[in-house]
Amino acid sequence: MKPAARRPIPLAQPALLLRRFPFGESSLVLHVLTPGAGRVALLAKGAYRPSSGYFAVFDLFDTLSVRWSARAGQELGLVTRAELVTRRPGLASDLTRYRAALGLLELAHLSAREQHEERGLFAWLEGALDELQRAVVDPRLVALAADLALLREHGLAPALSACASCGARPAERERSVPFSAALGGRLCLACASAERARGRAVEPIPLNALRVAESLMGATPAMLAHTHIEAGLLERVRAFVERFLEYHLETRLRSRRSPQAPLR
């Protein structure tokens, strides 16, 4: 199949850097998220030269305004102009916030489409980075709420109260409930048995972890600011939400796995 013809994008686009790689002596290859064109790969020539016009502009986590030109037969668009719009310096100075922010960039990179409008995703990422910069809410809580919001944005929110398979509302007598990422969330006992009989994975999730995920689904920053969750419980919620995300994004979230994400 021939790649779709690239439409020229004449106006500057708001952009958030998802990844950046040094290229040659003084240039950078950038993967950026834009509301109007989704994920875009760009070449910023001479980005490390003070005379380039965008020296020291391309930092992770900042909102930029970027103009570029597509080049016939080239993978990378060429940056023609770039300006800083919003700096978020707090994210690089605190390791917990830095890692939460890197995890958001990675999620956005995995789920952004190329040559497609991604207004919802852009607003999601910018809002979550703002929240981390404000440093009012625990960064792990911001990341978890962002994971759930992204699942919802993609229409993939896990079933947390009714059975994902038959829709029944199971009685909650046990301390854990059966859960299947493949089937889309929690299961009633009958559907869980049927799924196990087919040789498919069903894992037990603590009921209180499920309840916390439910309360975080759709929580506003103001609500998060007043939410306090004990660290062990937060970790259990994070673990099952992350496995759910991984299953549905069909990949591993690398920056969340590495114990020490490299500082760039």
Least distance in Å: CB of 246 to Zn ion? 24
Binding of Zn ion by 191 (CB under 5 A): yes
Q: Convert 37-60 to b/e letters by CB count within 10 Å (16 or more is b).
A: bbbbbbbbebbeeeebebeebbbb
Piece in contact with Zn ion (CB under 5 A), picked from 25-33, 189-197, 219-227, 252-260: 189-197
Nearer Cβ to Zn ion (111/165): 165
Rounded to whole angstroms, the Cα distance separating 123 from 183 reads 29
Residues in contact with Zn ion, shown as a per-residue x/- string from 141 to 180 under the rule CB under 5 A? ----------------------x-xx-x------------
- Residue identified by tokens 């994070």 is 238
Residue (166 or 239) nearer to Zn ion, CB: 166
Q: CB of residue 166 vs Zn ion: minimum separation in angstroms?
A: 3
Alpha carbon distance 118, 249 (integer Å): 17
Choose among 111, 143, 149, 115: nearest CA to 129.
Answer: 143
Residue 223 CB, nearest distance to Zn ion (Å)?
A: 30
- Consecutive H or E run containing 225: helix 221-225
Q: How many residues bind Zn ion, per CB under 5 A?
A: 6
Please say which residue, 169 or 226, places its beta carbon nearer to Zn ion. 169
Q: Name which of 92 and 159 has its Cβ closer to Zn ion.
A: 159
> How many Cα neighbours within 13 Å face the side chain of 180?
21
Burial-class residue 227 by CB neighbours within 10 Å (0-12, 13-18, 19+): middle
Of 132-140, 187-195, 203-211, 251-259: span binding Zn ion (CB under 5 A): 187-195
State whether residue 111 is helix, strand or coil. helix
- Asked if residue 182 binds Zn ion (CB under 5 A), the reply is no
Question: What's the closest the beta carbon of residue 187 comes to Zn ion, in angstroms?
Answer: 6
As given in the structure block, the two tokens for residue 96 are: 């917990």
What is the smallest separation between the CB atom of 197 and Zn ion, expressed in angstroms? 14
Site residues (vs Zn ion, CB under 5 A): 163, 165-166, 168, 188, 191
